[in-house]
Amino acid sequence: MYNNINLLPPNMRKKHRKRIKFDNPTYGLILLAVVLLAVFIVRGQMMQTVSLLNNEMDILQININKIMPQINQLTSPSKEHSNLEASLNRLKDLYDGGLPWATILDQISKSTHPNVTVTRIENNQNTIILQAETYTLRDMATMKKSFEENPNFTNVIIESYNYKSSSITERAEEGRNPAVKFTLTFEFRREGK
């Protein structure tokens, strides 16, 4: 057995006695209280961080909701694309299987008067119906004559026209509405016929 010998001088012994002994149960309770306080503080900080993250997520969701219509607008077809697609669909509708539409459209383009706007082209049993509009009756007559002189077209007829007379001031305005709307029909002369 060992004997405990206290070699400390008496004035140091008093200091030694003042040291905290962890054998006492109150010290354990204090330590538990400190640990619980630290846990509550850390939990409060975590809850505050979660709340801030939720707020940031809400702000991001609002921004995403604002941006999504713009993204959808970018991914949706543009107006030019839609117009081009509509023109392509009209050309597909015109396809007859026997008529060379590339040549016909090229010849129409060459024979059309510069002041005339072609608004519609249809095929009715190899008779091509062309609807157009212009500003003067003279432009309509010049276009008919140009179609008659084209060796690829036969039986050129102005089926109907609608003339809206206008005053001198209306004719002088730029961007005025066309005064003449007309329908011209013709047949395409195939090679070898």
Q: Are residues 68 and 143 in the same domain?
A: no
Indicate if 33 and 121 belong to the same structural domain: no
CA 73, CA 68: separation in Å to the nearest integer? 8
Q: How confident is the model at residue 59 (pLDDT cuts 50, 70, 90)?
A: very high
Integer Cα distance of 141 and 82 in angstroms = 34
Average pLDDT over residues 71-96: 69
Q: Which helix (H) or strand (E) holds 134?
A: strand 127-134
Of the candidates 154, 107, 88, 91, the one whose C-alpha atom is nearest the C-alpha of residue 126 is 154
Regarding whether 160 and 72 lie in a shared domain, the answer is: no
Span 83-98, mean pLDDT?
A: 66
Query: Would residue 193 count as lying in a domain?
Result: no
122 domain residue, yes or no: yes
Please count the structural domains in the chain: 2
Answer for the pair 115, 135: CB distance below 8 angstroms, yes or no: yes
Rounded to the nearest 10 degrees, how much is the dihedral formed by the CA atoms of 49, 52, 53, 54?
A: 120
In this structure, the number of other CB atoms found within 10 A of the CB of residue 36 comes to: 10
**Same-domain status, 88 and 162:** yes
Q: Note down the domain range covering 163.
A: 81-188
Task: With a cut of 70, say whether residue 191 has pLDDT above it.
Answer: no
Is 55 a member of any domain? yes
Whole-number Å distance between alpha carbons of 171 and 161:
19
173 located within any domain: yes
Last residue of a domain, one of 48, 76, 104: 76
Residues 58 and 125 grouped into a single domain:
no
Range picked from 33-37, 73-77, 134-138 for highest mean pLDDT: 33-37
Strand partners, 121: 130
User: What pLDDT digit, counting tens, does each position of 140-172 carry?
Assistant: 899 899 999 988 889 998 888 888 776 555 655
